[in-house]
Every structure is written in structure tokens, then in C-alpha cells.
Structure 1
Amino acid sequence: MTHRLLRVAGPLLGVGVLTLALKALHEELHAYHYRDIVHQLEALPWPRLLLAVGLVILSYGVLTGYDWIALRYVGSGLPYRTFGPAAFIATAVSNNVGFTWLSGGSIRLRFYTSQGLSTAEVTQVVGYITLSFWVGFLSVGGALFLFDPPPIPPELHLPQVGPRLIGGLFLGVVLFYAGLVLLRREPVRIRGWQLPMPTRHHLIWQVLVAGGDWLFAAATLYALLPGHDVSFHAVLGAFIVAQMSGLLSHVPGGIGVFETVVLLFLSDRIPKPVLLGTLVVYRAVYYLLPFALSVVLIGLYEVGQRRAQVQRLAGSAGRWASSLLPNVFALATFTTGVFLLVSSVTPALDGRWAWVDRVVPLPVRDVSHLSSGLVGAGLLLLARGIQRRLDGAYVLTVVLLGVGAAVAVLRGGEFRTALVLAVLFVCFLPCHREFYRRSSLLHERFTVGWVLAILAVLGATSWLGFFVHRNAEFSSELLWRFVLHGDAPRFVRVSVGAAVVVGVFAVAHLLRALPSQPERPSLDDLATARDIVSHSPDAFAHRALLGDLTLLFNASRTGFVMSTHQGRGWVALGDPIGPEPELAGLAWRWFEEVERHNAIPVFSAVRSEHLPLYMELGLSPQKVGEQARVALRDGAPEDSRQEWEGCGFEVIPGEGVGAWLAELERVAEDWCSRRGRGDVGALDARALALGPVALVRREGRVVAFASMWTGADREEVSVRLLRFSAEAPVGVMDWLVERLREWGRREGYHWLDLGLTPSADAEEASLSPTWSHLSTWRFVHGEHFEDLPSLRAFKQRFQPRWEPRYLVSPPGLSLPSVLEDVAGRVSAVRWVGLELGGDSILRHPPRIPS
């Protein structure tokens, strides 16, 4: 319950602060007319605007410096030409969305991992960027408030402490941090997180880059202001307080909050309409223009992916751009919807109607005006589908962008609006392949944040319309009044139409069919799964054939996700199974099904190459261990001797296991009794029959065995279970695995899989919170937790390639309880891999014949 309240608190706080900001704006501007603000927009000199654009370029160049110093901090030597575009896009997105750690951080994770950085290093990069941001704020703000503090407007109701005291506290924090950097060399440990200390050179660059960021951003606003009696330090003070207010408000981009605070600071020296018009231009130049450029860059990457002559240059960039494309395009779609609604509820500028009056009939013009607002409302809803990669949402968005561009011209000759829509339309066109999910938007879950954002936009545009037309007489007849310059009736029709569109969608969404409870697979499902498994190179896919897991197939039934659930926790075992092009759609479909059941999704033991996909689902990765895979095509010379210490080795097919089942059960029971465990050693005859079984016999009796599953095209042979009895000679497990390696090589397999093992990467493990680390190990490694060092040491004898595996889950505090719910069920079905324990036989040195 607490976790749910925390998730709702942020969006609710943002809506509340935005409401207060709009109320303050209304009170400040009640004596002015909308046209006074529009006049300031039209009167802005071009030289001043070009100067502001130049300062924006410098500012964003400095902002990419955050990534430069952070990469040097983690020891990466990526050149600027490689990381510069990603840093720019991440900054442009986070400036508009807010929540820098989540929005910009996810983009950086996708890009930098594609460039070879580990998840731990990317976490350090994002953390260091955040630290540098605050170092710059405290340095610039502290110096300003300590040496030349601006007057604080009483309307802000800030604590009654001296500005110089605030400045002193800010600089005190910076000096304390500088002291740590200069005097401490040991890493800092905070609740299980370990962070290396920066050097003095890092500190200098932090202050220079972060300080330059704040100064150039404030200089852009100062350059746009007309020649009134206001100093740069006054603008800088207002800018810093306004930016902090926007960040703390949880409103995306601080929109409305930033403008209100600046207005309160500077309205006594600059006329309010002039100041508000300048702020509108500033937001367009500093926020929307870089974001539009980032959308174009991603579109160009997609075009580059389609051109063979630039494939070499765009290959890696296209992959990471492809992964972040949905979020960026969703924001662009949502912003365009807001733009159309705002332009629909405000009057057309003077002179725009001249040729339209002569060419376009009044009914067509009014229908076009209403259509523009409906297109805007539709784009607000479709933005969620774009974020979720829905094919239908993509098609509808492209159609609405084209319709919006056409009606923008018909309703009032708004060619600039049509140009914006046309540019976004062109950016969307080459990206159809990125929207592959054939699902209905009605089945998608709208989070609290999305719902409140849409309602906030409808409320804010309605407020703007009433503010602009506050002198009009509103009545029920206004909705049906059609006149040449009837701006107020058009505003009413657009507001009602947008509310109807959103309301109808909301009702349809609420009335959608309830999801059915997941069921065990039928015989037909198992037959389909068997056919899919027979073509899968992943040997673990056989786990689905035991019939005790839920199988979710794609529409074409060429792939599936296998999962188990208990309570609200749903855990998918491994990556989706099926053809590689189908994996992303399968993951989305399973994730969507879990959301429809209001459950918590967890993917376990997934490969690192699929992490960007799970990040798109909003899941956070946690490294749980490494898969030990022994290469069979380039291994040691083959030892052809099949006998050792009186033991013989043979491999029997799965269908022949029945004849040996009693012997295998005897070995398993002996192994279990010596370890003091009950049903841990119990055998599942169905699992044994799914693949070949290697037997070690001594004097005719089975003394050890290994159960195996095999992948298609002889990609791998995976050892699922090893057991040995007290009659086995010392070193039998080493000899058995060596025989398995030789057998796999003779049979033409590429890899011998020895199963999942806890990670030896202490640095990466230390970056995980302690509770998450322990609960994950409890889930993955189950009953043999105490023998993990012995397990890893045993596998290391065969010189495997260690491949990382991750558990991905929603960020928050729900993971331990979910894993505890399903841990028993998952560990009981033996999916973990090679099961070895701390028996004394493993502590003896190997006795394999040379």
C-alpha cells in the first residue's frame, strides 16, 4: 500500500503545483490581454533571437560536458564524436520530461552499454552527472546569494532566513565535498553502494562544466529580455530559484512553475505581458527546439539503418537509437497534441484570416478548427501507444499528423503549425518497423502519471481559453454559434470535443473485458511448444515441456514465454523462446498480460543482449550470476579412454531412461540422504526423458549420472542435473564432466552449458542494494546457497566462458516479497542448472588421468 501511495504521490504533487502556478499566473495577468503577450512575441528582434539560439548551442555543448567528465571518472575513453549525440538527446529529453535520473539515465544506459560499458559503470556515470549538476547549482547559487543576493518576492513564502545565510550553506556543502575529494581516497559506501572518490581534476571540471551550464542557460533568458533596467545577476537569481522550483514540483520541464517564479521575481522591472512573452520564446528556444532536433536525429539514424552505404557508420548508433525511439517519439507526439490544443483554444493572430476569408468557406473553417483540437486530444492518447510500440498507434498517429497539417492551413493559414506537423510526419515515416506490437490501445495500462498528465493538459488548455476569452459571455448557445471571427465559440467547441474524445476512450477502456486467469497448458499447447523447442538453440526451452508452467504464445504460435506465479508475483523463466524477430513482441505481450492482472512482472536469468528491451518495459536489471559455458569446438585434445578407476561412461537417449530409472533414483536418494535433505534430491522422470542421460557405472552399478538437454542445430548441450553415490571414487565428478565435454565435441555441439553461478564481479555486486542482492540470490540459487563458492570453483576447472545473467523487475520495494512467494516453486522444479553441493568429495583435488 505504501509503495502504491509513493507512486501516486509524485504525479499528484505535480498536478497540484501546476494548479497553484496557473492560479498565480491568472492573478498576475488578470489586468492584461492575450494580445499584449502575442504582440511581444511578434516584436522580438531577430538579432536578439539569433543571439539566444547561439547561447543555446553553447549551453547544450556544455551540457554534453557532463557526460565527458563522468566518462573520464569511470575510466572510459569514448571519444566525443561517439557519445556527443547520445548525451545531447538524453539532455534534451530529460529537460522536457524531468526526472533526469529516469529519463536521461535510461537513454544513457542503452547507449553506453552498446558501447561496451557495464551496467555498474553506467550507473556511476548517471550518478556522477547528477552530482555534478548539484555541485554547479550550489556553487553558482551559493556565490550569488552570499555576495550579491537578489530580493526574494514575498509571494513565494520562502523561510524567513537571510539570503546570505542560504548562500553560505550552499558554499559550505561545496567546500565539504571538495575537502572529501582532496583528503579521502577510499571509496564511499552508502547502504551497500560503493562509489570511488573523484580526483581533484574531476572536481575542477565539475565546477567549470556545471557552473557554465547554469550561466549559459540564464544568459539565454537574459539575451531575450528587452532593454529594461534589469541586471544579469537579478536574472540569474530568478533563474536559479525558478529552476529549483520546477525540479521540486515534479511537473515535466517545470512548465508553468518556472514561468510563475520568474514573473514574480522580475515583474516589478519588466512589464508582465512582455516578460511572459519572453518566457514563451525562451521555452521554445531552450527546450522545444533541442528536443525537436533530437527527434530529427533519431529519425536520421533510422534512415541510416536502411541505407547500405552508411550501415558501417550508423550500425551501433542505430541500435541504441532504436531502443530509445519510442520514449522520444511518445514525448514528441504528446507535445504536438498539447501544441494543437493550445493553438485551437487561442485566437488566430491578426492578418492570418485575410486570404482564408476569401478562399475557405466558413463551415469548412469551423470544422477544420474543431478537427485540429480533436487531433490534439487524439495525439495525447496515442502517445501512450507510441511509447508501447503499438503498430495501430503508429498508423493512427501518422494519419492524424497528416490531417493536422492540412486542417492547420484551412483553419487560418497557419503554415508554421503545418510545417511542425509535417516535419514530425516525415520523422515517423521510416520508423514503422520499430512499432511491431499488434495490440489494442484499449488493452494498454495507463499509469497514474499518464492519466494525470492528460487531465492536466485538458485543464490547463481550458484555463488558457477562459483567460483569453474572459470578456466573452459564455452560455449554452455559444457552442452552436458559427460566425466569421467567433473565437470564443470555437474555443468552447474544441474544449467540449477534446473532453468527449478523452471521456469516450476512458469509458471504453474501463469496459474492456477482464483478463482470464492463467491456466496450465493443454495437450495442444504442449504439442505446439514441443515443435517450438525443437527449433530453439536454447536447451533450457525444454523446461516448458514439463507442463507445470504457464505458457503464453504469440499470435502466430511460433514462440512463447514460460512463467510461474504466486500471489501478485509473476516470474518469467528466462528470455522468450522463439525466432529472434519475435522475442520483443513476446516480451511485450507477456508484460501486458501481467499488467492486466495487476501483478508484478519479473524476468529471471535473462541475457545481457536483451536488457535494452526490458528497459523499454520500465524494468530495472539486477545481475544475479553468470552462465558457465565451455567451448567445444576449440577445447583441449580429446582423451579417448572411456574407463577410469574401474568406471565406465556411456550416454543413453532420453526415451531409454525408463529402464534405468530405478538405478538413477537409488543414486539420487543416496546423494540426498548423505546431505540430510528431503525432497531436494527427488527425480522427475519427465525431465530426464527430455534429453540424453550420461551414466557412470562401476562393476555394473550406476554410481553417478548427468541429465542433459540439447539445443537445436547442436548449439549447446546443457547439464541440468548431476548426482553421485557413496560408491563413486574420489574425483568422479571431474571425470564425468570431462567425458561430457568430449562426448559433446564428438557429437558436434558448440557449447557445454554448466548452468548459472553467482557472479565473481564484486564491483558490480557492490552497486546493488543489500536487500535486493540477498533476495535475488535466495530466489535463484535456492537450497544450495551455502555451497556457491565450491560450485563456482568446480566449474572454473573447465575454463568456461562466463556470460552474465540478469533478473529484471519493476524498481521499488516489491521484489523481495515477490521472489519469496515464488522461490519455493521455482527451486522445486530444478531450473537453476548444475546442482552441486559442499560434499567433501568436491574438496579433493581432481584425479583425471593425464
Structure 2
Amino acid sequence: MRKSWGSPKEWKIVNILASLYRVRLLRFFIPAAVIGLIYWEAKKELRQVDFGRALHLFRSLPTGEWAWLLTISLLAVASMSVYDFLIRGLYRLPLRASDTFRYAWIANTTNNLVGFAGVTGASLRMILYRNKQVPSKTLFRAVAFLSPISITGLSVLAWLGIFEVIPMRSAYPSYSWQIVAAWAVALYLPAFAFFQRTPLFAKWFRRDEGRFTWKMIGYGIGSSFIEWFFAGITFWLISLAMLPSPISIGHAYSIYTVSAIAGIISLVPGGLGGFDLTALIGFRRFGYGPDHAAAVLITFRMFYYLVPWFIGLIISAFEFSNNRNVQGSKDDDDAEEMEKALTGWQKIWNWPGRVGFIGELGAWSLGKLVFLSGLTLLSSAATPGLWRRLHVAEEILSIPLMKLSLQLSVIIGIMLIVLSRGISLRIKRAYRWTLFLIVAGAIFTLIKAFDFEEAIFLLIVAVLLWLSRDRFYRIGVPFSREQIAKWGLATFLLFWIYDLIASRTHPGSTRRIPPNADIRWLFTPQEQQTTIILGLAIAWLIFSMLWVLRPVRMGRYGATQGQRLKLQSFLEVNQGNLLTHMLFSGDKSFYWAAEHQVLIPFAKVRNKLAILSDPIGKPELISGAIQEFQGYADRYALKVVFYQVSPEYLPIYHENGFRFFKLGEDAIVPLNTFTLSGKRNTNLRTVKNRFEREGFHFEVLKPPFNSIVIERLQKISNDWLKGRHEKGYSLGWFQETYLQLAPIAILKDGGGLIIAFATLAPGYDDGSTLSIDLMRHLKETPNGTMDMLFISLLDWAKENGYSRFNLGMAPLSRVGQSHGAMREEKLARLVFRYGSHWYGFEGLRKYKQKFSPAWEPRYLAYPRGLYLPTLLLELVWLISRRPRVPNESNS
């Protein structure tokens, strides 16, 4: 009788699984709750905002004002480099002033936009400074120093508001949650000053590196105050330019301070939503309309966040090396040290996740620049141009040509957004298309309305792409239905946003048409919708054609008969391993590395190439062969994982950047010591004697097998499968051509009928090892049938000169027993102990243990950055899916 689920021990599995996701859920719940609270309070202001009017106010800003405000904003962002100059001086980093400023700009602008708790900025500094040979220990201490310091400047502003140096209570009532949040941030400063002297604080923030000195504390607070002070100045000057009546510096600072606090506690990148909604409330309290307040926020976001980030992306595109280094153990060690350097509160929120993507920042930056180019074309097409420029364009160009350029701008914008992912992934064909489309987009945006700013930006991106042309080396990338659905949803979302902006900013809808203006070139709202629908249709039609006509380079799966014959010849001079015989089944592809001296068998699962066991070939060539295969996989943006590798090659995998998870242990019976004598083997002797008394007969058949034998084995196999389909990859399956390659052990009943069989797999190690492959029997067989088959097989193998017999792997055997084991391995240990409902993990080990095997561990080797639970599920699916072999007629 199956026992019920729910015992205290079994609930340990549930508790551990829950703990793995509790913090993740918290990371999403808190921002959602805070944003929901702010939205509830600001929904009245939001309903009154005319975003079309706000966008018009932003676009109609005089050029001189644009230049002045942009200059102030860039200077404010530049002031943030004081952090980097501070740690450069305190820790004596061997950096030039120009390098320090450049690295500060990249780290700070990216952290402003997408970072949380300084993790993004810390990650970027780690990579940038490491390239300048900064000692790792010094670098980790310097980066960790900035973590608790960055909020102290905002805390100073909060105290100024509490003491009414800036009129914070005039903007927000003293009983509101905003003031409570301001008090919380204000109290951070004295709490920081007090607790920094305690061992607990040193451990939490400094990783036992020691306490801060008061001098360091003073420098840090001063640096932080400079950042927040100049950001507030920028906010005030932008407010002066965009609001209909002047606003005092005190009022502007009160709005900015409380809004910044709301953005911090919302835990959203850049404070998006929390900052903006809170600012709308503050402007309303001082009597400013929502349209002008929204214009202030749009301008501030553009000048203080987006434009500096654009500049940072351009610098990043040049800064990072053209050559992509294969991630090695040093990178892994540094990444692990980076995780240690992060403070406790950063680890809790783990934003933005793993930092491994930073090594690809050059290509990542180019991809984001292309994405922004597409958005630029769409926003430019959705919003009307300046009337003076339109008048000049009308005199030079025809109205149909201007409308056609507008239509083409929309199409190119959508295509660039879709292509941006290919740029980030370094796809060669994506680079060629993108370069052509960006240049074309620059031309069309000039033709449609003389928007030379957008054209200049697009041409800058085109130049950056051309200068980086050597980076694009990948032939293709995996492209699943899920990804197609995501991009389809994203483009239709763009349709909705485009239509919303275009309808809100159309001159006819907002009565902003100058006298005697000719608006024949403008699209009506209905034409705008037709434009975006047609643009989407044409863009997706082109990409569908490219998808259908794309060169298929990874489409062939499995090994052809010719490749298997080559494998047979290869094994005559090279030793195999315990899983080598599975390669003859045909469902694994072969990659011949090191000038055909090393074989790497693999199968593709999603965006990964899973290699079965260790590479086969001369040991001294294995490391180079792995690097060669990593390069091959990287051309298609695929990850490499090794399944069921042996301990002897672990140092080689480690040197090539792999981490390890113990899958279980193989049961290897040493045949020279195997015997049925002794008290321990009484049960085995009893089984053998009973079957021999009842007339059962064991025999090993050697190929070729006649059709009568194959038909009988097929019947047994079908009865054993019970309608289930065969599995593959690391398991053999019933296929006549595969069965004809090795001996088959059979067990006959007293009447001479075969009731059970097991296919054998040679170890290709000079006749030393023999493994069991398929094991199948009729449903109605006596108890102990498989015991009898195993006993007879072991005796036969011993008599025929084999020294080892492999009974197969016991999954999760002796996994996670050490106190210092990985969290995933400890969870696997609980599954092994209490997971008998789903799979007989513990029972399988106990069954094989009665044959007195030696247990050899087997590992999964995978690169850093892969989420292990997902990877394990993908491997289970790979093994469980129906085996496929190449069609020889098409080979």
C-alpha cells in the first residue's frame, strides 16, 4: 500500500523548495505593493495628465534651452564620478584620471537606469577595473565600500526636509506615508554612523574586512551628498524651464527628495513609477497642472537618465574588447569573489541577477543602441515634427514622398527592435541587415520632417556597428516558438503605444495647428493606425521569409551510418568509456575536434548542447578539444554541458569554466572478487538454485541474430513498455540495427521460451569492462527473474575474461551528504531519501548494493550562469523524448 504524502520528514522538501522562491517572490511583491499604494494616491493626477500635451511641451522646448538643460544634466551625472575618485584615492587604485572618469560614467549611468542597490554598478566596476590589473582583494573591498554609503546623501536631504530647511511638509502632509518614508531614510544616517562601529555591521556590510574609519565615513557621506545635491539642482532647473510659473529651489528640492525616497523604497530600477507618481502629487500641492508636471518628469528622465545612458552605451561599445574570451576558471573565481563582496542586503534582492552578462557588455550595448534606434524612429514617426522644419521640407520634397518616408520609418523602427536581439547575440546576418536599415532610417527621418537630431543619432549607431563589425561572428541562434510569441507580443504592444502617442500628439486633436499651416503631409488618426498595422505586417512578413529561407546549419541531428562506421574505426585505436556504445544508436551528433583526434558526442536540447560522458580521444588533447567545441557552440549562441562525466576529467572541466553537480554513482562490480559464497550472498544463491531446479536456462547470443529471435525479443520489449515510447540519449532502445552490434543475454523458461533479455555494451577498453544496456522481461515472470539474469551475467563475464561489470547508475546516490555541499545537492539528498513516490532512488541503490559493487561518482558539468533546476529538467526531457536518427536517404 502506498503511504500517504505529508509526513514531517517529507515536508522538509516542500520547505526547502519554498525557501528557494520566498525571497524571489518578496522581490516582486514589495515593488508591486509600493507602486500600487502610490498609484492609488496619484490616480486622480494620472487621469488628468494629457501625455500628448506633455510630449509637445518637451519637443517644443527651444534649442538653446535644450542645450543648457542637457549640459547641466550631464554635469550632474559627471559629479557622480566622485565615488570612483574617492575609492581610487582611498585604496590607491592604479588608474589614470581619464580611466576613472570613463569607468565611473559607464557604471553610474547604467546603475541609474537598470540597477538596484548598486549591484549593477558594482558588477561593471569589477569588470572594468579588473582589466586594469587592479588586485582582486583591493577591488572587492573598494566596491563593497560604496554599497552602504550611496543612500547617506539622500538621508541628509531627508533631515533637511524634516527640519524644514526645505519645505517638505508643504508638499506632503505630515501624516502621510511619504513623511514616514522620509523619516525612515533620515534615520538611516545615524543608524549607519552608530552601527558601523559594531561587529555585526562589519560582518553584514564589510564581510569582516574591518570597520570604517570616521574619515572614510565622512568622505563617503560627502560623495553621496554631492550626487543627490546636483541631481536636485538639475531637477529644479528643468522645473523652471518647463513649468508655467517659477518654482523655488526649496519647493523643487522637497518634491525631488520625497520622490527619490519613494523610488528607492519601490525597489524598481531607476525608481520608475514610484518617483514619477510621487512627484505628480508634489507638483499638485504647489498648484502646478499635471501636464506641465509630466513634461518636467519626461525632460528629467530624458536628460538625467536616458541621454547619459546613451553616451555610456557608446563608451561601452568601444571600451570592451572585440574578442570574446571563453569563460574560464579565473572568471568563475572572480565571479564567486564578486558574490562574496556584495553586501547582505544586495544578496537578498539579487538585482539584476547574475553578473555574468557584464562580460558581454560591448555587444549588449550595441544591441540596446539598436533597440533605442528603433524606438527613436517609432517615436519620431508618432509625434509631429517642428513646423519650421516641415515648411522647409515641403518646399524641397513632395508630400507623397514625405508620407512614404514616414511609413518606411515605422517599418524600419519595428525591424530594428526585432533585430536588436540578434545584435546583442553577435549574429553576422543581423549585423548586415541592421547596418543597412539604420542608414536607411536616418535618410527617411530626414526626408519626413528634417529631424536631423534623430538622423545624427542613427548615423552614430551605424558608425559604431561598422567599427565593431569583427564582433559579429555567430552563424545563428536557437529560436523557439516561445521567443517568437514574446517578440510578437512585444511588437503588438508597440502598436498600442505608437497609436496612443500618435493620437494624443496629433495637431488636430490638440488644436496646436499654426495659422495657415499646410497639414496635408500629416496622417489622420485612421491613417496612423493603418501605418502601424501595415508596418507590423510588412516587418513580420520579411522576418518570416528570412526565417523560412535561413541557412540550416544545425538542423541535422544524430549520426549517419557513415559517421558510425568512422566511430568504429576510431575505437580500434582509442579507448572509449562506459557510455560509448550508446553512440551507435544514432541519436547523438558527432563533433570531431583536434583534427579528428577527439570525438565529442552531443545532442541539442533548447539552447544547449548536451555532451554524453567525457570526450573520447587522447587525454592530452581533451582540454583543447573542449575549447574548440565551446567555440563551435558559441557561433550558434548555445551553451555546452557535459552529462555523466567521470572524476578523472574534473580538473580539465574546471580549467574550462565548468561547475559541477553530482548526478549519482555507477555500480561497478569488480569481477575478480565477485562470488556467491558466504553468508551475505545467501539470497542470491537461493535464487540461482531455484531457477536452475525449475529448468530455467541462461544463454548469451552473439550477433547476427535471426528474425525469429528479434521477433521474440520485440514481443518481450512491447510487453515491458506497456504502450510507453522508448527513451534515448543516455539509454539504449529497441532498434534492430543497434541490437545487432553486441551480444544479448537471454533467460529461457523450462519450455525453452525466452522470458527476459539484457543487451550488453562493451566498454571499448581492450575487453576490460562490460555494461548492461536494455533490460526487459515479460509481465508474467517468476520473482527473482532479473536477479537470476544478473547473477548469470556476472558469472559469464568473469569466465570470459572481463574484469569489471557496470550495473548502471544509481541516481542521486550519496549526493549532498557533506555539510558544505551545494544547496541544490542538499535538496537532491532529500529527494533521494523521501522521493520514493516518484522514483525508487534509494531502492535502486539497495538493489544494486547486493552485488557488492564499487561505487564511482558521475557528475554534470555546466557553465556558470545556467539555472541548475531548469537544466536538470531539460536533461530529463532530453532523455525522455522519443529517439530520432538521421534519414540515411537524405544524408
TM > 0.5: yes
Distance 1:221 1:281 in 2: 9
Structure 2: tracts of 5 or more residues without a match: 1-16, 325-355, 511-517, 616-622, 642-648, 663-668, 682-759, 770-817, 832-840, 843-860, 880-891
How far residue 116 of structure 1 moved from its aligned partner, in angstroms, is 6.0
Question: Which residue pairs with 1:175 in the alignment?
Answer: 190
1:50 to 64, 71, 93: 71
Inter-CA distance 566–199: structure 2 relative to 1 (3 Å threshold): same
Question: Which residue pairs with 1:351 in the alignment?
Answer: 388
> For residues 566-602 of structure 1, what are the alpha-carbon distances to aligned partners after superposition, in whole Å with 9 as ceiling and x for unaligned?
99998657899748576344046474799xxxxxxxx
RMSD, matched Cα: 6.5
How far residue 341 of structure 1 moved from its aligned partner, in angstroms, is 0.9
Distance 1:250 1:535 in 2: 61
1:686 to 760, 763, 770: 763
Question: Is the 8 Å Cα contact of residues 98 and 254 (structure 1) preserved in structure 2?
Answer: no
Distance 2:439 2:571 in 1: 45
Question: Which residue pairs with 2:279 in the alignment?
Answer: 262
Distance 1:448 1:159 in 2: 48
1:89 to 106, 126, 143: 106
Query: Match for 1:29: what amino acid?
Result: D
How far residue 403 of structure 1 moved from its aligned partner, in angstroms, is 0.8
Query: Match for 1:89: what amino acid?
Result: I
> For residues 665-689 of structure 1, what are the alpha-carbon distances to aligned partners after superposition, in whole Å with 9 as ceiling and x for unaligned?
556869xx9x99xxxxxx9963635
Inter-CA distance 401–608: structure 2 relative to 1 (3 Å threshold): farther
Distance 1:188 1:411 in 2: 60
Question: Is the 8 Å Cα contact of residues 363 and 424 (structure 2) preserved in structure 1?
Answer: yes
Query: Match for 2:823: what amino acid?
Result: W
How far residue 396 of structure 1 moved from its aligned partner, in angstroms, is 1.6
Inter-CA distance 168–442: structure 2 relative to 1 (3 Å threshold): closer
How far residue 131 of structure 1 moved from its aligned partner, in angstroms, is 3.5
Distance 2:408 2:297 in 1: 29
Question: Which residue pairs with 1:188 in the alignment?
Answer: 203
Question: Which residue pairs with 1:226 in the alignment?
Answer: 240
Question: Which residue pairs with 1:132 in the alignment?
Answer: 149
**Count, aligned residues:** 650
How far residue 369 of structure 1 moved from its aligned partner, in angstroms, is 0.3
- Whether 2:827 is the aligned partner of 1:810: answer no
- Whether 2:369 is the aligned partner of 1:369: answer no
1:294 to 291, 303, 312: 312
Inter-CA distance 528–109: structure 2 relative to 1 (3 Å threshold): farther
Question: Is the 8 Å Cα contact of residues 401 and 421 (structure 1) preserved in structure 2?
Answer: yes
Structure 1: tracts of 5 or more residues without a match: 307-318, 474-480, 595-602, 612-620, 626-663, 677-682, 693-761, 784-804, 824-850
Question: Which residue pairs with 1:640 in the alignment?
Answer: none
SS at match of 1:352: helix
Inter-CA distance 816–36: structure 2 relative to 1 (3 Å threshold): closer
SS at match of 1:131: coil
1:464 to 480, 497, 501: 501
Question: Is the 8 Å Cα contact of residues 85 and 100 (structure 2) preserved in structure 1?
Answer: no
Distance 1:87 1:455 in 2: 37
Inter-CA distance 14–428: structure 2 relative to 1 (3 Å threshold): farther
Query: Match for 1:213: what amino acid?
Result: E
1:144 to 152, 161, 170: 161
> For residues 435-484 of structure 1, what are the alpha-carbon distances to aligned partners after superposition, in whole Å with 9 as ceiling and x for unaligned?
222126854863998777655544333222221138549xxxxxxx9933
How far residue 27 of structure 1 moved from its aligned partner, in angstroms, is 1.8
> Mean alpha-carbon deviation: is it higher for 89-98 or for 553-562?
553-562
Query: Match for 2:411: what amino acid?
Result: L
How far residue 381 of structure 1 moved from its aligned partner, in angstroms, is 1.1
Query: Match for 2:237: what amino acid?
Result: A
> For residues 811-841 of structure 1, what are the alpha-carbon distances to aligned partners after superposition, in whole Å with 9 as ceiling and x for unaligned?
5865788899999xxxxxxxxxxxxxxxxxx
Q: How does 1:147-546 map to 2 (within 5 A)?
A: 147=164, 148=166, 150-151=168-169, 160-161=175-176, 165-184=180-199, 188=203, 196-201=209-214, 202-226=216-240, 228-243=245-260, 245-246=262-263, 253=270, 258-267=275-284, 268=286, 270=288, 274-301=292-319, 323-439=360-476, 442-443=479-480, 446=483, 456-469=493-506, 471-472=508-509, 483-486=520-523, 488=525, 491-500=528-537, 524-525=562-563
Distance 1:689 1:773 in 2: 35
> Mean alpha-carbon deviation: is it higher for 270-279 or for 176-185?
270-279
How far residue 330 of structure 1 moved from its aligned partner, in angstroms, is 1.7
Query: Match for 1:401: what amino acid?
Result: I
How far residue 150 of structure 1 moved from its aligned partner, in angstroms, is 1.5
Question: Is the 8 Å Cα contact of residues 58 and 299 (structure 2) preserved in structure 1?
Answer: no
Query: Match for 2:212: what amino acid?
Result: T
Query: Match for 2:431: what amino acid?
Result: Y
Inter-CA distance 264–512: structure 2 relative to 1 (3 Å threshold): farther
> For residues 636-662 of structure 1, what are the alpha-carbon distances to aligned partners after superposition, in whole Å with 9 as ceiling and x for unaligned?
xxxxxxxxxxxxxxxxxxxxxxxxxxx
Query: Match for 1:331: what amino acid?
Result: K
Inter-CA distance 569–351: structure 2 relative to 1 (3 Å threshold): closer
Inter-CA distance 45–419: structure 2 relative to 1 (3 Å threshold): closer
- Whether 2:59 is the aligned partner of 1:38: answer yes
How far residue 331 of structure 1 moved from its aligned partner, in angstroms, is 1.5
Q: How does 1:539-554 map to 2 (within 5 A)?
A: 547=583, 551=588
SS at match of 2:111: helix
* Identity fraction in percent: 15
How far residue 429 of structure 1 moved from its aligned partner, in angstroms, is 0.6
**What's the TM-score once normalised by structure 1's chain length?**
0.59
Question: Which residue pairs with 2:50 in the alignment?
Answer: 29
Question: Is the 8 Å Cα contact of residues 772 and 815 (structure 1) preserved in structure 2?
Answer: no
Query: Match for 1:771: what amino acid?
Result: R
Question: Which residue pairs with 2:82 in the alignment?
Answer: 62
Distance 2:288 2:265 in 1: 26
> For residues 163-205 of structure 1, what are the alpha-carbon distances to aligned partners after superposition, in whole Å with 9 as ceiling and x for unaligned?
5544443333443333332131796379xx9664542355434
SS at match of 1:40: coil
> Mean alpha-carbon deviation: is it higher for 486-495 or for 357-366?
486-495
Question: Is the 8 Å Cα contact of residues 379 and 400 (structure 1) preserved in structure 2?
Answer: yes
How far residue 215 of structure 1 moved from its aligned partner, in angstroms, is 1.9
Inter-CA distance 263–822: structure 2 relative to 1 (3 Å threshold): same
Distance 1:544 1:96 in 2: 51
SS at match of 1:688: coil
Question: Is the 8 Å Cα contact of residues 168 and 251 (structure 2) preserved in structure 1?
Answer: yes
Inter-CA distance 623–689: structure 2 relative to 1 (3 Å threshold): same
Question: Is the 8 Å Cα contact of residues 37 and 274 (structure 1) preserved in structure 2?
Answer: no
> For residues 306-327 of structure 1, what are the alpha-carbon distances to aligned partners after superposition, in whole Å with 9 as ceiling and x for unaligned?
9xxxxxxxxxxxx999732222
Question: Which residue pairs with 2:885 in the alignment?
Answer: none
How far residue 409 of structure 1 moved from its aligned partner, in angstroms, is 1.3
How far residue 425 of structure 1 moved from its aligned partner, in angstroms, is 0.1
SS at match of 2:474: coil
The structure with the largest alpha-carbon Rg is: 2
Distance 2:264 2:534 in 1: 33
Question: Which residue pairs with 1:658 in the alignment?
Answer: none
> For residues 701-752 of structure 1, what are the alpha-carbon distances to aligned partners after superposition, in whole Å with 9 as ceiling and x for unaligned?
xxxxxxxxxxxxxxxxxxxxxxxxxxxxxxxxxxxxxxxxxxxxxxxxxxxx
Q: How does 1:428-827 map to 2 (within 5 A)?
A: 428-439=465-476, 442-443=479-480, 446=483, 456-469=493-506, 471-472=508-509, 483-486=520-523, 488=525, 491-500=528-537, 524-525=562-563, 547=583, 551=588, 578=625, 583-587=630-634, 589=636, 591=638, 686=763, 688-689=765-766, 771-772=823-824, 807-811=863-867
Distance 1:402 1:132 in 2: 45
Query: Match for 1:199: what amino acid?
Result: F
Query: Match for 2:193: what amino acid?
Result: A
Distance 2:876 2:138 in 1: 29
> For residues 617-652 of structure 1, what are the alpha-carbon distances to aligned partners after superposition, in whole Å with 9 as ceiling and x for unaligned?
xxxx86889xxxxxxxxxxxxxxxxxxxxxxxxxxx
